[in-house]
Amino acid sequence: MSTISIKALFCFALFNLSAAAIAQTSAATPAKAIPDSMEERVKACVMCHAPQDKATADAYYPRIAGKPAGYLYNQLINFKEGRRTYTAMTNLIDPLSDAYLQKIAVYFSQLHPAYVPQPSSNATPEMFARGQILVTKGDPSKNIPACVACHSSTLLGVTPAVPGLLGLPRDYINAQFGAMRNGARRNNAPDCMAQIAQRMSSDDINSAATWLSAQKMNEGDKPANSLPAPMPLKCGSVEHASSAANSGEVAK
């Protein structure tokens, strides 16, 4: 018998012994039960949004952890009813009931992981300064309100319906402003964000997105409970989500 044949027989025998040992071990160890929890149920969500909401390589997936439940629920309904379009999201949530979408929204609203800022390597000092001015003071000459006037001074949003702006990658912010400008992303009327986006130049949008994406967010940071003054514009999406929360449609 050749040396190759002996080695082949030896390997075959070793493989069978290993397979038998694995089978014995598997039979002796019962399968681990998967808990019926929201953490398990939303694993399809975190495949894109990530457990800690870190920016992905292409930076087009937003942070959803910690956003107000009313806002998250409203966006899920927007995907379901066609005001926002992304095939993967639509296919994922289309079979789900509104009540289940509420549970998903509440689950993610209760998570508050830290976020590592994603500063842009090609941001100029002028771009960064312009972005900070737009976010914190706005531009009265263009009738652009400051972001902090609606999204709170900490930019973490306001319960139950105004989203936080921190923890969002620059490319995602730019893409959403573009979608709001051209009507690809719509909100309940009056669509305040579409109005603001149309008043901003492409350079304005990129500057604001660059500054926002570079801001730090600590673990446990939460949305504000209220704004110190009325919002500068009427926002149908905020009124819609706030009404749903007040009526108990979105559980707290």
- Domains in the chain: ranges and CATH: 38-246 (1.10.760.10)
150: Cα within 13 Å, side-chain hemisphere: 22
pLDDT score for 7 = 40
180 is in an annotated binding site: no
Which pLDDT belongs to residue 159? 95
112 is in an annotated binding site: no
Q: Check the annotation: does 127 bind a ligand.
A: no
- 89 annotated ligand binder: yes
According to the model, what pLDDT value does residue 207 have? 97
Instruction: Give the model's pLDDT for residue 244.
Output: 62
48 annotated among ligand-binding-site residues: yes
Q: What is the reported pLDDT for 6?
A: 40
235 a known binding residue?
no
Q: Extract the residue ranges of the chain whose pLDDT is less than 70.
A: 1-31, 51-59, 241-252
pTM recorded for the entire structure: 0.79
Does 45 belong to an annotated binding site?
A: yes
pLDDT at residue 246 in the model: 63
Q: What DSSP assignment string belongs to 2-69?
A: -HHHHHHHHHHHHHHHHHHHHHHHHHHSPPPPPP-SHHHHTHHHHHHH-TT----SS--S---TTS-H
Predicted pLDDT of residue 52? 60
Q: Is 217 annotated as a binding residue?
A: no
Q: Which pLDDT score, from 0 to 100, does residue 114 have? A: 81
